[in-house]
Structure 1
Amino acid sequence: MQWMQAGTELIREAGSQYLSSGELSHDVLCCLNAVFGKSLMPALQLIDEKKVTRVTSPSGRWVFRVSGSSGVPYICLPGSAYCQCPAYKYTVVLKREAIMCKHVLAARLASEMNEVEVKEVSDLDLVDIIAGMD
C-alpha cells in the first residue's frame, strides 16, 4: 500500500512539473522508473501517441479508455489500479512485479499532465462501456 501511495504522489508531482515546464525532468523520470519499472516507458508511449481518452457522461461519471499497443481498448476506472489487460492479471496480481499496468499508469499520468482526449457519451453508453468490462 505504501508503494501505491508513493506512486500516486509521484504521479501528481510529475503532472505538476509537466504543466509548469512542458516536460518531465531526468530526476522525475528516474523516480517514476524506480517505482513503476517496466510499465513506465510503454505508458509514456501511449500518452505520446494520444491513446488515453477520458469518456464522460452528462451525469458526471467517467472512465478512462486506453488503447493498448495492439489497438485493443482497455477500460480503467478512476481511483483504481484495476485494468482488463492480461498484464494486470499476471504482472500485477499473480507475479506482483508491478503496482499497476501500463494502461492505468498512462491514464493517471496523462490525466495529471492534462494530455487526455475527452469524449462525451450518453449515460446509457457509459453504462454499456462499464458493463462490457471483465
Structure 2
Amino acid sequence: MSGYDPDAAATAVSITRAGDACFAELEELVEGNPGTDIPDDILASLHLLFGKNLAKALEVVDAGGITAHVGERSGRTVYKVPGRGDVYTVFPSHYCSCQSFMYDIVGRGEAVYCKHQLAVRLASVLRRVARAPCSDQDLARRLLGEGGVG
C-alpha cells in the first residue's frame, strides 16, 4: 500500500534545494561569461542529484528547439520541449506532459524532475531557449489543447 512517506518528501525537498543552488551558481557564472560551459564541479553535483536524467537533459539541450511561450500581458511562461516524435508542455518546477513524469515522478516517486524539466532549467540558465511572445488567450488555448501557440 502506498502513501505519504515523510522521509521521501524530505529527501525530495533537499534534492530540489541543492539543485536550485547549483542552478543559481551556474546562472551567476553564465551571466558574466555568456557561452560558458558547465564547470565540472557543478556538473558533478547535478549528476549526483539528478542521476541519469541529467545526461538525458543535456542531450535535449544540445538538440535545441526548447521554446518559451510567454504571455504578452501576464508574462506567464509555458515551455515546449521537443522529444521523440512529440512536443512536451513543461513547467520546470511542477509539471511535464511526458510519460516519464507521470510514471517515475508522480506514480513511483523515483525522481524529482524528468529530463524535460531539467532541460528547461539548464537551457534557461545557459540562455539556449527561444522566446516566443504570444497573446495570453493563445497561451490559454494551448494549455486547453485547442491549438494556438505552436
- TM-score, structure 2 normalization: 0.79
The CA deviation at 1:123 is 1.8
The corresponding residue for 2:117 is 104
Q: Which has the larger radius of gyration?
A: 2
Root-mean-square deviation (Å): 1.8
2:89 counterpart of 1:89: no
Distance 1:124 1:62 in 2: 13
| 1:71 shift after superposition | 3.2
- Unpaired runs of 5+ residues, structure 2, are 1-12
Paired position in structure 1 for 2:82:
67
| TM-score (normalizing by structure 1) | 0.87
Q: Deviations over 1:76-130 (max 9, x none)?
A: 125x331111101111122222110011111111111211111122222101112
Whole-Å separation in 2 of the counterparts to 1:41 and 1:124: 35
Partner of 1:5: 17
Q: Structure 1: which 5+ residue stretches go unaligned? A: none
Deviates more, 1:10-19 or 1:115-124: 10-19
User: Does residue 40 in structure 1 map to residue 54 in structure 2?
Assistant: yes
Q: Distance in 2 between matches of 1:56 and 1:101?
A: 22
Map of 2:63 onto structure 1? 49
* Deviation sequence 1:15-60 (CA, Å, 0-9, x none): 3334426101211111110001111111111111112111112112
Q: Which has the higher contact order (CA 8 A, sep 6+)?
A: 1
How many residues in Structure 1 have an aligned counterpart in Structure 2? 131
The separation in 2 between residues aligned to 1:122 and 1:51, in whole angstroms, is: 21
Q: Percent identity?
A: 34
